[in-house]
Amino acid sequence: MNFPWLLIILLIPLIASVLLFIPKKYVIFKDQQIALYSSLITLLFVIVVALQFDTSSNAATQFDISFDWIPVFGISFHLGLTGISLVLIALTAVLTPIVILATEHEGQKKNREFLMWILLIEASALAVFLARDLFLFYVVFEAMLVPIFFLVGRFGGPRKNAAALKFILFGLAGGLVMLAALIWLYFAAATQLGRGTFSISALSNELNLDIWTERWLFLGFFFAFALKAPMVPGHTWLPDTAEQATPGTSTMLIGILDKVGTYGMLAILLPIFPNASKEFAPAIIGFAVFGVIYGALIAIAQKDMKRTFAYISISHFGFIVMGIFSFTSIGMIGSTIYMVAHGLSTAGLFLTAGYLIRQKDNSLIQNFGGLTKAAPVMTGLFLVAGLASIALPGMAGFVAEFMVLTGTFQVYKIPAIIATLAIVLAAIYMLWLYQRVFTGNENKDSKNIVDLNKKQILILSPIVVLTVLFGFYPTPIIKIAETSIANTMTYVGVTDPQPIIEKVVSK
Amino acid sequence: MIQTVLNSIPTPSFEYALLSPILIMFFAACLGVLVEAFVSIEKRRFAHLIIVFTSLLFAFFAVALQSGPNGRALVANGTVALDGPGWILQGTILLVATLSALLFAESKVDPLGDAFASRASTLPGGEEEKTVTKLGWTQTEIWPLFLFSICGMLLFVTANDLLVLFVALEVMSLPLYLLAGLARRRRLLSQEASLKYFILGALASAILLFGSALTYAYTGSLEFGQISNGISSANNSPGLLTAAIALVAVGMLFKVGAVPFHQWVPDVYMGSPTPVTSFMAGAVKVAAFGGLLRVFYVAFGALVWDWRPLIWVVAGLTMVVGSVIALAQSDFKRMLAYSSISNGGFILVGFSATNRPAIAAVLIYLIAYAFATVGAFALLTLIREQAGESSTLIRWKGLGKKSPLVAALMSLFMLSFAGIPLTSGFTAKFGVFTAAISGGATALVLVGVLASVIAAVFYVRVIILMFFSDPIPDGPFVVVPSVFTTIAITSSALVTIILGLFPQLIIDLISSASVFLR
């Protein structure tokens, strides 16, 4: 067996969270130190792995590590790295230390517990992106509801209890439907392959389901992923949760964990259920486009900043799903970049606004106004994050959105055109929000707002740097994701549509 | 003449070694009665504790030593089947009963003594009651009753004959009717529970007996294997057989608390002293399902196509009705009672698959559920107010602040009931769903999924109350138990976690032992 890089990456945040769980007197390090250093070491290991990642290899996964877990059912603890998972674990590893640094105040007296849950989220996010066994994927997919549930319920706003309950119920509803589909898939595979297996590679390479089974199973898994991502109309838990959760929780939830839904579509649905994916693609594109427009329109009408961000995300998830189901490599790579761009811009929005919300203990837009003078740096940072979110050229979001729209347009012309309208709507929701919160008449206590200090600027700067970097130079992500996307395309059995060039007859 | 008659009766063969777990418990129970008669009142409790825990230990060793492949046989002239499932069930019952016994023995959490009335014969609220309570008397008869009940359970899960099954059922149930009425606090409620349990239980027993008689009428035998043969060969009217199976089914489904025979469960669980409730939800549940499995798989196995649709309907109803009604409960014990009903539904889902994985799945579910439920009831005994246990859920607000450990453990059991992965509840649910899908009951699994989501609401609500809400003034307090309850809680928590993380351990043990002898 090779050096277990992936296992170590997984274990660091897990051990750190255990250290934060056992009574303080037995641990020599300070809470904040444990959390910060463990997340930084994780980041370091991810970087080391990323540097060793062979982009030229055609192998489906690299750095594989596998132990038997429940051999009777052919279940193994199998971790492996695909290009897409590398992109997403890198996003996780980058955002976690930023969240830990930026949310020093959120845990207040229960800071130790707050950090423990954040690290557990990091560990489960890493596990879910690295899992190459469908059962392991499912287990983590469900288990990671618990840390968010506690974060929302323990640290959230006045209606946190209802929000936490709604969150976990939506999660369980999706998860249990997926469980039924998972077991069915196991038997279908056992009948056909002669051995029960949950290995994602085996299921995608060898399985050839009859079409009705495939359709039902596809729907079972899709239901879970669409609730998680979330797509309209299964989205209503997200605004409620985001409104009540602290900005740090929301960043982890929307920035990282919700990507599990779209990641699942890309890495599990398409390879294992290629035929059903193709059949349902037009309908899903329809839902996605509807979500794009609906999310953007509702975002305009929100009175609460955090709810606005949630609806913006719903709109963006529509774009990601659209790119995935366009079945073009440019669309899928666009979606992968979109996941990164969205993670970064969500973190930027929530964390910057978090500093503001914390000072007023309130996130209603009407309570703010004219902050440009009192807090110029915050204003600037928020504008950058906002513009990144609405895909201004030069930001990562632009590259992603452009690729997604191009990819979709090659196959679905009208949906792509309709989705383009969201760019206009995006300008409305973001600039209008900016206008109401930061410009205009100074609110009576706007003067009391304290601007970001140097430390806080430094904490948030990686987000801006990365957003701009990938805006101008998305090549690293494309290079890393290319092979896995090409593999996925092969599983589905589609090729990129060839451009048709009409012969121009010169007179 | 007499000589020939005598010669025609075979000398019963009696395999004492293989039957030793049952015999040990029976002997211990009789010894307990003698203790009541001859040991002075101050020393009785101590003597009983020694007898109970020693006998449980020895009986468990007897199970563990003999349950290997060589220890599988039809014994006592074919009326008792000691096979893989039988041994597993006996072992589980002994372990779970040990945890309940630890709760029975706890006398530190209530300032007045253990969980049982000082003298059951005194009038609730009367002067006499106060006097005996002040004197610190305890009702030590609970111990022999407890042991007889376990003895009945051990026999019930291995009975291979409808008459033995009936006798075992009565030996198991009669002590329970009494135990249910012995609560120290809220005695009227407890006595009502006892009466209700007795009347309904007796009715169900009568129905089971009638069903057995009809089965005998149709097949000419009471032994499961012979019944199965008789069903395949007899040419009598099928109406008789249908009635026989229906009546046996009603009798057995009553014991497991399946809808629509569940009405007794909430009242009895709520009224009984909490250690007894834990015993009923844990060991008794295991025994009842064990008996159900054997009767339907072995005796009526040939008719699986006829009774399976019935079980599907009952399973679906049990899951949904149990979960939905549990949503509306404001009392923790009552909620757990409905949760027990709903969990019974999930077990029936696995049961309905009628294949080898189904047996293993049901056994795993029973083990996972029994330990978690005993743990949850054990924790309840620690959450108290002046007037006794605090089981009104709304008063648990902010319990996480007062005692993070108790609240965290309670959350663990709730998450396990809700079937969150990495807890034993998930392993169990995965098992029964897998069995059901392999048995072709995919639609039932979808109902199960729906019921799980509904059920999650009330489990999660407990966590929300404990951890996410602010404490109310003069709310309940958490007492520190003696070593008895501590052991019970720790072991159930460990089992819940270990079965969640490493299910392979138990799957290996059980799948090698999931074939019924017939």
Locate the domains of chain A by residue range.
Answer: 282-491
Give me the interface pTM, i.e. the ipTM: 0.91
Mark which residues 130-169 of A lie under 8 Å from B by CB: 138-140, 142-143, 145-146, 149-150, 153-154, 160-161, 164-165, 168-169
Contact (CB<8Å) A142/B426: yes
Specify the pairing of strand A75-81 against strand B80-82. Answer: unpaired
Q: What is the pLDDT of residue A373?
A: 83
Contact (CB<8Å) B467/A153: yes
Contact (CB<8Å) B464/A183: no
Write the pLDDT tens digit of every residue in A39-94. Answer: 999 999 999 999 999 888 878 888 999 999 988 888 999 999 999 999 999 999 99
How close B381 gets to chain A, by Cα (Å)? 25
Write the pLDDT tens digit of every residue in A6-53. Answer: 999 999 999 999 999 988 888 888 888 899 999 999 999 999 999 999
The pLDDT of residue A507 is above 60: no
Cα–Cα nearest to B157, from B223, B82, B211, B209: B82
Report the SS3 class of residue A227.
helix
By Cβ distance, the residue of B433, B457, B507 closest to A180 is B433
Show residues of chain A in contact with B507, CB under 8 Å. Answer: 70, 72
Contact (CB<8Å) A149/B420: no
Write the pLDDT tens digit of every residue in B307-348. Answer: 999 999 999 999 999 999 999 999 999 999 999 999 999 999
Cα–Cα nearest to B485, from B122, B218, B110, B14: B110
Question: A24 φ, ψ to 5°?
Answer: -55, -35
Q: What is the pLDDT of residue B370?
A: 97
Contact (CB<8Å) B422/A160: no
Tokens for B441?
A: 């009951």
Show residues of chain B in contact with A24, CB under 8 Å. Answer: none
With contact defined as beta carbons under 8 Å apart, do A29 and A19 qualify? Answer: yes
By Cβ distance, the residue of B456, B461, B504 closest to A70 is B504
Write the pLDDT tens digit of every residue in B164-194. Answer: 999 999 999 999 999 999 999 889 999 999 9
Contact (CB<8Å) A161/B467: no
Specify the pairing of strand B383-385 against strand B388-389. Answer: antiparallel
Write the pLDDT tens digit of every residue in A315-331. Answer: 999 999 999 999 999 99
With contact defined as beta carbons under 8 Å apart, do A399 and A407 qualify? Answer: no
Show residues of chain B in contact with A237, CB under 8 Å. Answer: none
How close A363 gets to chain B, by Cα (Å)? 21
How close A139 gets to chain B, by Cα (Å)? 5
Give A391-425 as a DSSP string.
T-TTSHHHHHHHHHHHHHHHH-HHHHHHHHHHHHH
Question: A127 φ, ψ to 5°?
Answer: -65, -40
Higher pLDDT: A1 or B9? It is B9
- d(C-alpha B144, C-alpha B171), whole Å: 12
Cα–Cα nearest to B145, from B51, B235, B20: B51
Show residues of chain B in contact with A155, CB under 8 Å. Answer: none
- Which residues, in sequence order, are CB contacts of A49 under 8 Å at separation 6+? A5, A6, A9, A63, A81, A86
CA B17 to the chain's CA centroid: 26
Q: Which residue numbers in chain B have pLDDT < 70?
A: 1, 234, 236
Q: What is the pLDDT of residue A174?
A: 93
Q: What is the pLDDT of residue A506?
A: 61
Cα–Cα nearest to A338, from A271, A387, A402: A402
What ranges make up the beta strands (E) of B17-127?
A: 73-75, 80-82
How close A299 gets to chain B, by Cα (Å)? 29
Q: How many CB pairs under 8 A join A and B?
A: 80
| Residue A365 sits at the chain B interface (C-beta within 8 Å) | no
By Cβ distance, the residue of B438, B457, B468 closest to A187 is B438
Categorise residue B39: left if φ over 0, alpha if ψ from -120 to 50, beta otherwise.
beta
Q: What is the pLDDT of residue A127?
A: 96
Contact (CB<8Å) A70/B469: no
Write the pLDDT tens digit of every residue in A136-152. Answer: 999 999 999 999 999 99
| Residue A193 sits at the chain B interface (C-beta within 8 Å) | no
With contact defined as beta carbons under 8 Å apart, do A237 and A230 qualify? Answer: yes
The pLDDT of residue A472 is above 60: yes
With contact defined as beta carbons under 8 Å apart, do B365 and B432 qualify? Answer: yes
Show residues of chain B in contact with A68, CB under 8 Å. Answer: 504
Categorise residue B179: left if φ over 0, alpha if ψ from -120 to 50, beta otherwise.
alpha
Q: Residue A271, preceding bond cis, omega within 30 degrees?
A: no
Which DSSP state fits A270? H
Cα–Cα nearest to B168, from B255, B269, B246, B98: B255
Hey, what amino acid is at A282?
Answer: P
Question: A393 φ, ψ to 5°?
Answer: -55, 140
Q: What is the pLDDT of residue B139?
A: 87
Contact (CB<8Å) B433/A154: no
Locate the domains of chain B by residue range.
Answer: 2-511
| Residue A355 sits at the chain B interface (C-beta within 8 Å) | no
Show residues of chain B in contact with A72, CB under 8 Å. Answer: 504, 507-508, 511
- Closest residue in B to A71 (Cα) is B504
Contact (CB<8Å) A183/B468: no
pLDDT band for position A254 (cuts 50, 70, 90):
very high
Residue of A168, A178, A187, A215 best to disrupt the B interface, most CBs of B under 10 A? A168
Report the SS3 class of residue B306.
helix
- Closest residue in A to B445 (Cα) is A180
Q: What is the pLDDT of residue B494?
A: 97
- d(C-alpha B342, C-alpha B352), whole Å: 15
Cα–Cα nearest to B89, from B21, B158, B161: B158
The angle, 0 to 180 degrees and rounded to 10, between the axes of the packed helices A237-244 and A160-193 is 130
Using a 10 angstrom Cβ sphere, with 0-12 exposed, 13-18 middle and 19 or more buried, the burial of residue A466 is buried
Contact (CB<8Å) A153/B418: no
CA B300 to the chain's CA centroid: 23
With contact defined as beta carbons under 8 Å apart, do A101 and A40 qualify? Answer: no
If DSSP states are collapsed to H, E and C, what string results for A56-115? CCCCCCEEEEEEEEEHHHCEEEEEEECHHHHHHHHHHHHHHHHHHHHCCCCCHHHHHHHH
Show residues of chain B in contact with A183, CB under 8 Å. Answer: 430, 433-434, 437, 445
Q: Residue A247, preceding bond cis, omega within 30 degrees?
A: no
